């Protein structure tokens, strides 16, 4: 991810009490509070929105700290229902200040956070099954983008839920596939890579510095709008990711590209940068 500016508001002037995080040029909003500030937390207008929440604490006799991961269309009303739970001492809420997150998004995020927290092995998770949600490919991209920022923000808020318990397990390093691996994946897909897919790859390769937006891609290829370009390029990324043997959650447009978020380099939209390994694979295949 690129550099970002985080705005941290300490509601009571103390880092251990109610705090709110915003990120420049991003609508994601995060809040954290100890249980002693529960009433003040519930008064926040942001909690009337859809979001995911984490309740963290400990209980005598338990070897690990405890965590509950949930989601709701109205986080405030759901948190009120958890006031009777006696184990938790800290609450973390992740929502969207522009109200772009839907019920389906937060259900998906809840499931992913449950999966990641169990893999980390640091906490005993109190709810083992999330509500779950299947999203259209384009919406899944949006949810995964939010998830990446959630993983980045939780440690800033003082939550180590997703940090691997290194005493219990080793987390394998995830590396970008090499150009030869991309070449074999694209070759192995055969006719599944349509002529439109090839045209998209060629258009991206030939773009200045191999950078373009979904809107520019759509205009070059002849799609009606940026949504179609995002959908079809994302589908190709999913196909390539599966052929590379990547986990299901990692099979998306990010297999093929890196991103520049809006308003960081004078750009008003998301910019795709073709991965150098993909560009090299296209050259060796003779597709350029």
pLDDT digits (tens, 9 = 90+) for 194-230: 999 999 999 999 999 999 998 899 999 998 877 788 8
Q: pLDDT band at residue 172, thresholds of 50, 70 and 90? A: very low
**Model confidence at 153: pLDDT above 50:** yes
Under 8 Å between Cβ of 133 and 114: no
Decide if pLDDT at 107 tops 80. yes
Q: How many CA atoms within 13 Å lie on the side-chain side of 152?
A: 17
Per-residue three-class SS string for 177-239: CCHHHHHHHHHHHHHHCCHHHHHHHHHHHHCHHHEEEHHHHHHHHCCCCHHHHHHHHHHHHHH
Predicted confidence band of residue 2 (pLDDT cuts 50, 70, 90):
low
Over the chain, what is the mean pLDDT? 86
pTM of the model: 0.58
Q: Determine the distance from the C-alpha atom of residue 248 to the mean position of all C-alpha atoms in its chain, rounded to a whole number.
A: 14
Backbone phi, then psi, for 216, in 5-degree steps? -65, -40
Q: How much is the pLDDT for 281?
A: 96
- Say yes or no to pLDDT of 250 above 60: yes
Given a cut of 70, whether residue 263 has pLDDT beyond it is: no
């Amino acid at each position: 991810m690129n550099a970002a500016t985080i705005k941290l508001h300490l509601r009571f002037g103390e880092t251990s009490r109610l705090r709110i995080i915003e990120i420049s040029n991003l609508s994601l909003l995060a809040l954290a509070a100890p249980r002693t500030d529960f009433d003040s937390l519930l008064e926040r207008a942001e909690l009337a929105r859809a979001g995911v929440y984490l309740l963290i604490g400990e209980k005598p006799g338990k070897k690990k700290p405890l965590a509950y991961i949930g989601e709701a269309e109205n986080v405030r009303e759901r948190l009120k229902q958890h006031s009777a739970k006696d184990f938790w001492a800290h609450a973390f809420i992740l929502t969207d200040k522009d109200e772009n997150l839907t019920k389906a998004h937060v259900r998906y995020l809840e499931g992913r956070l449950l999966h990641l927290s169990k893999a980390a092995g640091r906490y005993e998770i109190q709810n083992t099954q999330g509500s779950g949600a299947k999203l259209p490919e384009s919406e899944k991209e949006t949810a995964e983008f939010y998830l990446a920022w959630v993983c980045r923000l939780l440690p800033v808020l003082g939550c180590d839920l997703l940090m691997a318990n290194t005493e219990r397990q080793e987390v394998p390093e995830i590396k970008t596939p090499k150009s030869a691996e991309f070449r074999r994946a694209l070759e192995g897909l055969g006719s599944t890579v349509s002529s439109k897919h090839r045209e998209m790859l060629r258009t991206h390769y030939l773009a200045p510095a191999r950078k373009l937006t979904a809107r520019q891609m759509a205009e070059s290829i002849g799609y009606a709008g940026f949504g179609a370009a995002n959908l079809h390029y994302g589908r190709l990324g999913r196909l390539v990711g599966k052929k590379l043997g990547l986990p299901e959650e990692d099979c998306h447009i990010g297999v093929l590209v890196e991103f520049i978020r809006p308003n960081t380099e004078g750009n008003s939209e998301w910019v795709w940068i073709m991965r150098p390994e993909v560009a090299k694979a296209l050259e060796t295949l003779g597709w350029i």
